[in-house]
């Protein structure tokens, strides 16, 4: 069976699990890149239902989680200014910076507002010409088109008090960095369906050819993921490395040309620091020079911010797929969604939050008995 038409059928789920058990003859390590896929896998217990030896490695596909610490600190600094209305999606407000978060700024009287679209922030700027309105533009390629359109709209309409704090990251360079890492164990990938709906999959084809690793574009429903895993396992068992598309109802090879064109017009590719991972060349987006007037980093002179991570948080290892949340001694004890030490416990797509919300328990402490 290939390319599901119905994706909420328990009979199909059991059939896919049976086919996985029949297909897998040896251990395989597969990474789902997207945090949304991680939450489905963990919430539904799919990772625990897979045949013995099929191990899911949870990747760095949570845009909130990989937003660099210095960008959070820049956001906090800008939001605290009395002339600023700082706008953001809600999941960024509780991401901890070095000394606080955006929710703390709001509690102290800062004008921090949750919006549901960057165009909402442009409207706020138009309605408040005496204030500086900043939108926190984070995310993978999925959110970049809407953010690009907001910048284009503000520039065309002459809304000079609107700017964006850009921290976009790109998926293909992250996959390459994972494969190049000395500790890499990943043998196949589930690519994020929503990213590929925007960008297509041509950027992944050179990765498949160079590293001889299967990549399957996959959706987010439980059956999408089961079928995507099955498609990767079959390639691995056959010794094949190909780009395949499970998410045919939403993804085409060329992606969305209009969305890609908006990204091309507004952004340029740059090196980006990933929280807990480090700098990855050509893995981020920044505003093109012609839109520098809408660059919040330049407008507020915060681009040289230096930050220090919390030493108690192992988010970097979790985001690289070399550790699980339950490996962290703070998980579920000193680090919870109400009191997060790191971004993966905050975001709706964070691996730590996925484990915690699914009731995964911390590993029991081992006590050495001295006789």
For the chain, domain boundaries: 1-371
Is the pLDDT assigned to residue 362 strictly greater than 80? yes
Residues 6 or more apart whose Cβ sits within 8 Å of residue 48 = none
Q: What is the mean pLDDT of residues 162-170?
A: 97
pLDDT of 63 reads 84
The rounded mean pLDDT for the chain is 92
Dump pLDDT digits (tens) for 31-57: 999 999 999 999 999 999 999 999 999
The answer to whether 58 touches 321, Cβ cutoff 8 Å, is: yes
Is the pLDDT assigned to residue 276 strictly greater than 80? no
* Percent of the chain at pLDDT exceeding 90: 77
Q: What is the mean pLDDT of residues 304-333?
A: 83
Closest CA to 112 of 136, 95, 96: 136
Q: What is the mean pLDDT of residues 329-338?
A: 90
Any idea which residue has 């709001």 for tokens?
106
* Letter string b/e over residues 276-308, b meaning 16 or more CB atoms within 10 A of that residue's CB: bbeebeebbbbbeeebeebbbbebbebeebebe
pLDDT of 219 reads 96
CATH of domain 1-371: 3.40.50.11740
pLDDT of 371 reads 44
Dump pLDDT digits (tens) for 104-135: 999 999 999 999 999 999 999 999 999 999 99
pLDDT of 287 reads 98
pLDDT of 327 reads 92
The CA distance from 29 to 333, in Å, is: 29
The CA distance from 98 to 69, in Å, is: 7
Q: Which residues pair with 267 in a beta bridge?
A: 287
* E-strand stretches of 35-116: 54-61, 84-88, 111-114
Is the pLDDT assigned to residue 368 strictly greater than 50? no
């Amino acid at each position: 069976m290939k390319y599901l038409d119905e994706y909420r059928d328990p009979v199909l789920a059991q059939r896919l699990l049976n086919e996985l058990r029949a297909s897998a003859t040896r251990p395989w390590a597969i990474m789902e890149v997207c945090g949304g896929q991680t939450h489905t896998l963990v919430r539904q217990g799919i990772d625990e239902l897979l045949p013995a030896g099929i191990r899911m490695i949870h990747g760095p596909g949570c845009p909130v989680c990989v937003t660099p610490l210095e960008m959070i600190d820049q956001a906090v600094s800008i939001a605290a200014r009395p002339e600023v209305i700082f706008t953001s999606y809600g999941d960024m407000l509780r991401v901890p910076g070095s000394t606080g978060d955006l929710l703390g700024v709001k509690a102290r009287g800062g004008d921090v507002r949750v919006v549901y679209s960057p165009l909402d922030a442009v409207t706020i700027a138009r309605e408040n010409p005496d204030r500086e309105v900043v939108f926190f533009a984070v995310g993978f390629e999925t959110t970049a088109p809407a953010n690009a359109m907001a910048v284009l709209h503000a520039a065309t309409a002459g809304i000079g008090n609107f700017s964006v704090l850009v921290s976009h990251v790109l998926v293909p360079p992250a996959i390459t960095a994972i494969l190049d890492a000395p500790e890499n164990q990943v043998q196949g990938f589930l690519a994020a369906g929503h990213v590929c709906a925007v960008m297509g999959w041509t950027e992944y084809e050179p990765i498949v050819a160079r590293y001889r690793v299967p990549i399957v574009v996959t959706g987010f429903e439980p059956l999408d993921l089961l079928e995507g895993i099955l498609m990767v396992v079959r390639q691995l068992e056959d010794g094949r490395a190909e780009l395949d598309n499970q998410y045919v109802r939403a993804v085409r090879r060329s992606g969305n040309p209009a969305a890609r064109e908006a990204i091309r017009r507004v952004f340029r590719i740059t090196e980006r620091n990933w929280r807990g991972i480090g700098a990855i060349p050509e893995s981020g987006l920044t505003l093109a020079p012609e839109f520098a007037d809408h660059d919040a980093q330049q407008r507020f002179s915060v681009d040289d911010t230096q930050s220090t991570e919390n030493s108690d948080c192992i988010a970097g290892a979790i985001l690289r797929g070399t550790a699980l949340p339950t490996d962290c001694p703070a998980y579920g004890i000193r680090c919870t969604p109400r009191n997060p030490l790191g971004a993966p416990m905050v975001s709706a797509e964070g691996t730590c939050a996925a484990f915690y919300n699914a009731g995964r328990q911390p590993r029991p402490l081992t006590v050495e008995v001295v006789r």
